[in-house]
Amino acid sequence: MNDVVLGIETSCDETAAALVRGGTEVMSSVVSTQIDLHARFGGVVPEVASRAHVELLTPVIAQTIIEAGIDDSAIDVVAATVGPGLIGSLLVGVSAAKALALVWDKPFVAVNHLEAHLYAAFLEDPNLELPLLVILVSGGHTMLIEMRDHGEYRLLGSTIDDAAGEAFDKVARYLGLGYPGGPAIDAIAEQGDPTAINFPRGMVHDGLDFSFSGLKTSVINYVRKNPDASNADVAASFQQAVVDVLLIKARRAAKSIGARGMCLAGGVAANSQLRLQFLDACTEDGVHGFLPSRLMCTDNAAMVAAAGWYVFNQYGPSGLETGAYPNMKPRWLAE
Amino acid sequence: MLILGIDTASPQVGVAIGGHEGVLASFHSARGRQHAETVTPAIEFVCRQARVELREISCVAVDVGPGLFTGMRVGIATAKAIASALRVPMIGASSLDLLAMPVRHTSRRIVSVLDAKRGEVFTAHYVSAPGGIQRIGEYRCETADELVVELMAEHENYLLVGDGALRYRDVLSAVENVEIAEQSLSMPSASALVQLAHSHALREQWVNTWELQPLYLRQPDAEINWQERQ
Ligand SMILES: [Zn+2]
């Protein structure tokens, strides 16, 4: 149970490797971000990302092992993200992970990137209370997930159009705030008034699904009609609309399953206002609120290693004929 | 000395192992593009057939392209991981070099011509040299018409090899004294890679894992578009 897992993550634009012992103890975690490489294109360019991964991955893995201060022979399992994500990027990590497993004669474990995000929370708080309501918000996903036990999940709601992070990127680009959009809006919104403009809260009264494309359109329409509006007010009001919808639905979902804990995951979980208001909501509702550190919210390999540990103990190793699966569904949707 | 050779830069997957005694075992699959799914089990298979343990490998050779971007990265990522775990050096060989290797016993000028899609070919020129081949000039990405002009400018006897030569056979045959190698020689092979790497290894012409670079010969589309806008 004290297995040391090497985790490898290359699904998008972060090249990452980490060593985690027993599913919870992070021995080392190295993330090499490619943000600068993609900034001038205004978004992640798959071919540029793949080229960077193949160059960066071997040094990142070597660095991880050095930082943990262990010998290769102390590694018991090699885990890698196999999907969902960019096919060319995923293939670099999967290929390297399988090769290492083969050389070291250790098991290889295929990890789903979305499940890995759930395990980011357990890395920092192994005593999280179940059932848990997870709010997974990133550039590619917006999901409310019920976690009853390890490996026992249920999808309660998701976006019917844009992901929350995608809305941040698109609005930031429209406002000329640069890339990536999340941190840019977060920063400028601090100087703005979140109540200045009453943007629509999409689908707020029906069910647990989300819609962000209407919000994005109304931001663009508003700026067109009011060219003198302050970027800070627009950004703050837009951000507040996203946070409101996310938290209203998450609280509704948590109540419906009798959740004892609520947890944020994914890149958008690094947003300052979402973090603050999330904790307030948890206190108000009397549930244990858990907020992973910003480093654990964005893509990293420690969460992959942690998920790999659980997957290995529950389902055993994956075959060396495993490939990459860009549209891979998480286990909770596969059933 | 034992060399593991990995070639996934074309639609095929090839793995071979060998050394002073030549190629000991090899694997070859031409059934479509499942590079990542195929290459790791293929390495395991080839080692078993050669009765060699991976840790006995003293050098990892890999086809660094040009070719299919995604395919070549699977091979390079795999090769780098193995070399770094075993702490052994690497030898990178171009897919164009690998095409020339099996036809080296000729007095003609060898021209490797790989189909680069989008109306272009990847090319390089070679002459036979003791123990292998010697490249003349640069690796290029050009149109078949540009290649014709290039060939006509020098009045050599040519042997063209590769799937690009076959695809543009009609255009290229217009050049005098051109012979085109048959279909069975039109793709790089892992056995040629091991042979070529062996001659490099004898001269200690190898690199460290972090020094090995892919040979793309073409920029990402986004990069080309971005530069055009500047
Ligand atoms: Zn992610």
Partners of B2 in the beta sheet? B19
pLDDT > 60? residue A81 = yes
Q: What is the C-alpha end-to-end distance of chain A, expressed in Å?
A: 27
CB–CB contact B77 A323 (8 Å): no
> Given this model, what pLDDT does residue A41 score?
85
Radius of gyration for chain A, computed over Cα atoms and rounded to the nearest angstrom: 20
Task: Give which of B80, B82, B87, B216 to mutate to test A binding, by max A Cβ within 10 Å.
Answer: B80
Whether A276 has its CB under 8 Å from any CB of chain B: the answer is: no
Number of H helices, E strands in chain B: 8, 10
pLDDT category at A307 given cuts 50, 70, 90 is very high
Chain A residues touching residue B35 (CB < 8 angstroms): 91
In sequence order, what are the residues at sequence separation of 6 or more whose Cβ sits closer than 8 angstroms to the Cβ of residue A171? A181, A185, A216, A219, A220, A235, A238
**Interval B152-180 mean pLDDT:** 94
Report how far ligand 1's centroid is from the alpha carbon of B133 (Å). Answer: 47
Identify which of A148, A97, A100, A142 has the alpha carbon closest to the alpha carbon of residue A117: A142
pLDDT category at B226 given cuts 50, 70, 90 is confident
> Given this model, what pLDDT does residue A334 score?
56
CB–CB contact A103 B39 (8 Å): no
Which tokens belong to A99? 């090769």
pLDDT > 90? residue A42 = no
> Given this model, what pLDDT does residue B131 score?
78
> Given this model, what pLDDT does residue A321 score?
96
Q: Please state whether the predicted TM-score (pTM) of the whole model is above 0.90.
A: yes
Taken in order A155, A290, A11, A211, the sign of the CA dihedral is positive
Q: Which burial class, exposed, middle or buried, applies to A196 when counting CB atoms under 10 A from its CB (0-12, 13-18, 19+)?
A: middle
Nearest-angstrom CA–CA distance, A33 and A12: 10
pLDDT > 60? residue A3 = yes
pLDDT > 80? residue A151 = no
* pLDDT (tens digit per residue) in A236-271: 999 999 999 999 999 999 999 999 999 999 999 999
**Interval A64-83 mean pLDDT:** 97
Report the mean per-residue pLDDT for chain A. Answer: 93
* pLDDT (tens digit per residue) in B45-85: 999 999 999 999 999 999 999 999 999 999 999 999 999 99
**Interval A121-140 mean pLDDT:** 88
pLDDT > 60? residue A335 = no
> Given this model, what pLDDT does residue A180 score?
87
pLDDT category at B230 given cuts 50, 70, 90 is confident
pLDDT category at A303 given cuts 50, 70, 90 is very high
CB–CB contact B222 A45 (8 Å): yes
Whether A47 has its CB under 8 Å from any CB of chain B: the answer is: yes
Whether B37 has its CB under 8 Å from any CB of chain A: the answer is: yes
> Given this model, what pLDDT does residue A156 score?
94
> Given this model, what pLDDT does residue A129 score?
83
> Given this model, what pLDDT does residue A116 score?
94
* pLDDT (tens digit per residue) in B114-140: 999 999 999 999 999 987 899 999 999
Radius of gyration for chain B, computed over Cα atoms and rounded to the nearest angstrom: 18
> Given this model, what pLDDT does residue B18 score?
97
* pLDDT (tens digit per residue) in B12-32: 999 999 999 999 999 999 886
pLDDT > 60? residue A106 = yes
Report the mean per-residue pLDDT for chain B. Answer: 95
Report how far ligand 1's centroid is from the alpha carbon of B132 (Å). Answer: 48
Nearest-angstrom CA–CA distance, B109 and A317: 51
pLDDT category at B188 given cuts 50, 70, 90 is very high
pLDDT > 90? residue A40 = no
Only one residue has tokens 């994500």, namely A85
**Interval A198-225 mean pLDDT:** 92
CB–CB contact A98 B40 (8 Å): yes
pLDDT category at B11 given cuts 50, 70, 90 is very high
For chain A, percent helix, then strand, then coil, each to nearest 5? 50, 20, 30
Which tokens belong to B111? 């021209």
Whether A96 has its CB under 8 Å from any CB of chain B: the answer is: yes
Which residue from A91, A102, A324 is facing B44, i.e. has the nearest CB? Answer: A102
Question: What is residue A193's DSSP assignment?
Answer: -
